[in-house]
Amino acid sequence: MKFSYVEYLRARRALRVVAILLGLLLLAALLARLSWGKLPTQYDTVSAMEHSPTAHVTRTALPNGGTRTVIDDPKKHVHAIVERRGDSVTSVTMGGYSDARHDARNTERVRDARASTRRSEAVGTSVTYAFFDLGTLFSMTIPLGLLAATLLAGPLAKENNGHLELAWTKPVSRERYALSAVVVDVATVVIAQVATAAVLLLAALFWEAPNVTFGSLALARIAFALMAPAAWYACLTAFSASLKRGPGAVLGIGWVVAMVCPVIATSTQDASTPVGRSVYAIFNTVSYADPITYIWFRIDSVSIADPMRATVIGLLALTALAIVYLGVAVLQWRRVEA
């Protein structure tokens, strides 16, 4: 793929930008660690509750070989049920006391969680435990993946801008030339996302060794996270493939349109006036062709009740959009004249 050398140079520049941002992220994490000190872990929190001088602790052996510990501390308004198996905490139920009666609520089940945060309320305290599910970890790489995709998008428009005659001299068909550039760019975006995931884990090490798990949704979420920037890249490339002044205008306007359309569609979906319904119909229709909609805006009752189904539907939609947009881009570029 020697004819893709220019695209390799563009990919290298994009990775340099990504590397700078990841370096800043690591620096911010290090500064936070030095400023805040070590955050309380799940085990620290449970141990502090158990060893409180005013706590009444009851331990019960469970049929599965685990242990259930009930912690009652009326003075500190704490009621907790902790289940362990071996050295691992498998379940924590936190509640508070109100009028001398405990009101167990805010249940959060965790599996081998490592990091924790606290939230205080007027009555009662809840503890939420976060863990590094591989699918969730890759979902966190989507923003940087979208940035890399935006930096690399529009390779055909870049060739149109003063390089078209040179591109036609390459010993390869137009279709292969275009697809080779796309392959280089998409591979670069994937590398950027994998690097982001690695840096997130490295940043977590400043506090404690992360516990990475592979949940039931992990594979689907990883595929979704990798496909989302690819679909956005394909969209920007398709809308800029015929331009001869570079893709700058499409890249800038594209983000505005991609964010505004789903917002307007969401805000007018319950409109009762004819004008409001017309606005909703227009922007809702456009949002179906907007990859950003499937990444951030299509969160509804289906997503909450059946996250696997929602993830798979989103993945299929993004895959279809990526294929269609890339096909449209290549077809446009075949007809471009110098």
Domain boundaries defined on the chain:
2-33+134-334, 42-113
Confidence at residue 2, expressed as pLDDT on a 0 to 100 scale: 55
- Residue carrying the six token digits 């992220």: 25
Name the residue with higher pLDDT: 163 or 237.
237
Confidence at residue 81, expressed as pLDDT on a 0 to 100 scale: 85
What is the C-alpha separation between 267 and 132, in angstroms, rounded? 34
62: exposed, middle or buried (Cβ count in 10 Å: 0-12, 13-18, 19+): exposed
SS3 category, 290: coil
How confident is the model over 173-211, as pLDDT tens digits? 778 888 888 999 999 999 999 999 999 988 888 877 777
Average pLDDT across the chain, whole number: 79
What is the C-alpha separation between 231 and 324, in angstroms, rounded? 9
Confidence at residue 92, expressed as pLDDT on a 0 to 100 scale: 67
Average pLDDT over residues 142-167: 82
Confidence at residue 163, expressed as pLDDT on a 0 to 100 scale: 60
Confidence at residue 89, expressed as pLDDT on a 0 to 100 scale: 64
pTM comes to 0.70
Confidence at residue 161, expressed as pLDDT on a 0 to 100 scale: 67
pLDDT above 70: percentage of residues in the chain: 76
How confident is the model over 103-128, as pLDDT tens digits? 433 334 333 333 333 333 333 334 43
What is the C-alpha separation between 112 and 90, in angstroms, rounded? 6
Confidence at residue 54, expressed as pLDDT on a 0 to 100 scale: 86
Name the residue with higher pLDDT: 216 or 144.
144
Contact 248, 151 (CB under 8 A): no
Give the confidence band of 22 by pLDDT, cuts at 50, 70, 90: very high
Average pLDDT over residues 242-249: 81
What is the C-alpha separation between 254 and 150, in angstroms, rounded? 10
Left (φ > 0), alpha (ψ -120 to 50) or beta: where does 112 sit? left
- Give phi and psi for 192, each to the nearest 5: -65, -40
First to last CA, the chain: 23
What is the C-alpha separation between 53 and 55, in angstroms, rounded? 6
What is the C-alpha separation between 255 and 250, in angstroms, rounded? 8
88: exposed, middle or buried (Cβ count in 10 Å: 0-12, 13-18, 19+): middle
Give the confidence band of 16 by pLDDT, cuts at 50, 70, 90: very high
What is the C-alpha separation between 62 and 90, in angstroms, rounded? 13
How confident is the model over 268-287, as pLDDT tens digits? 888 888 898 999 899 989 98
- Give phi and psi for 277, each to the nearest 5: -65, -35
Q: By C-alpha distance, which of 330, 326, 334 is closest to 234?
A: 326
